[in-house]
């Protein structure tokens, strides 16, 4: 069987300027942040990013990597508006297509099933069509007189997702409480790369996953697999770890001021690889604990 193991930098080296990249996870939850950081280190630009967005979208906007964003929302969850994305939208720095969350899901399903559109009630009666007049409705061909939205397929050149466990063949398990729609991102894409907290032997994957239903990403969907401990940081990746709220707060504060952001980016985002980033995060945690201890 094919060994699909590679590094994050090797994976993103296959992303070309102008491609459409789907990023799994949801808000500030189980985002493939190690792969996003590899994109930040790469020269790639003019991307269309398709995402239930969080800091993945914000960081790529801040770095000038994005031409267009297709999204259901862009949020840090505990912080409702992602600050870098908000700044980019207000400045008109990126083209944006905001879809109803149900339409977004229907678009992924249409692409996964290779359909020209997917009928959905999401978006009816909203401003979605006013802001995206190219969208169309379709009448029930069986004569009920009902009319629904025709969600266009969200076809992806590349999908990036993060899993709890994977094997070298590209099978992956999502063992947390919500699998979101990462399998659909992979199905909708021409190529898909999955990072994982741990790689385990194929013979052990089902047992370690704990449940057959956790094994939702299968090897026929994936092009490469990357072992990335804490690879979702600073978003959550249950049951391994929760969101790093102290770091997220520091990120949002820094994003509000260009000088502060330059200092933050130099401290955390200028490193040549993921281990160096994780070391900087460990130093941040130690300093935060020390400060909290001194405050008491």
CB-side neighbour CA atoms (13 Å) of 254: 19
Handedness of CA 121, 125, 128, 133 (dihedral sign): positive
Tens digits of residue pLDDT in 14-71: 999 999 999 999 999 999 999 999 999 999 999 999 999 999 999 999 999 999 999 9
Distance from C-alpha of 158 to C-alpha of 102, rounded to nearest angstrom: 22
For residue 295, is pLDDT > 60?
A: no
pLDDT computed for residue 157 by the predictor: 98
Q: What single DSSP character describes residue 221? A: G
Query: Does 1 have pLDDT greater than 80?
Result: no
pLDDT in tens, 97-120: 999 999 999 999 999 999 999 999
Write a three-state SS string for 259-292. Answer: HHHHHHHHHHCCCCCHHHHHHHHHHHHHHHHHHH
CA distance 183 to 89: 29
Domain with CATH 3.40.1080.10 in the chain: 8-112+153-227
Q: What percentage of the chain carries pLDDT values higher than 70? A: 98
User: pTM here?
Assistant: 0.95
- Model confidence band, residue 130 (pLDDT cutoffs 50, 70, 90): confident
Domain covering 8-112+153-227, topology: Glutaconate Coenzyme A-transferase (3.40.1080)
CA distance 121 to 143: 17
Distance, in Å, from the CA atom of 151 to the CA atom of 117, rounded to the nearest integer, reads: 5
């Amino acid at each position: 069987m094919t060994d699909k193991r590679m590094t994050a930098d090797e994976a993103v080296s296959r992303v070309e300027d102008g491609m459409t990249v789907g990023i799994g996870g949801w808000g500030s939850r189980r985002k493939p942040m190690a792969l996003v950081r590899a994109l930040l280190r790469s020269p790639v630009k003019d991307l269309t990013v398709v995402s239930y967005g969080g800091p993945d979208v914000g960081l790529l906007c801040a770095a000038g990597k994005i031409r267009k964003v297709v999204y259901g929302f862009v949020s840090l969850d505990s912080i409702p508006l992602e600050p870098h994305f908000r700044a980019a939208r207000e400045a008109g720095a990126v083209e944006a297509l905001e879809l109803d969350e149900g339409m977004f899901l229907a678009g992924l399903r249409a692409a996964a099933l290779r359909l020209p559109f997917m009928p959905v009630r999401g978006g009816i009666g909203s401003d979605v069509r006013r802001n995206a007049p190219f969208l169309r409705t379709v009448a029930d061909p069986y004569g009920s007189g009902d009319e629904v939205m025709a969600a266009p397929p969200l076809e992806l050149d590349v999908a990036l997702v993060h899993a709890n466990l994977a094997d070298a063949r590209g099978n992956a398990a999502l063992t947390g409480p919500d699998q979101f729609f990462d399998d659909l991102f992979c199905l909708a894409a021409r190529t898909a790369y999955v990072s994982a907290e741990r790689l385990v032997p194929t013979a052990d994957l089902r047992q370690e996953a704990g449940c057959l239903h956790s094994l939702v990403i299968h090897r026929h969907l994936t092009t490469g697999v990357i072992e990335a401990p804490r690879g979702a940081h600073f978003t959550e990746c249950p049951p391994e770890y929760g969101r790093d709220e102290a770091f997220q707060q520091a990120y949002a504060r820094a994003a509000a001021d260009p000088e502060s952001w330059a200092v933050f980016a130099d401290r955390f985002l200028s490193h040549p690889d993921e281990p160096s980033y994780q070391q900087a995060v460990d130093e941040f945690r130690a300093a935060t604990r020390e400060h909290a201890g001194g405050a008491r």
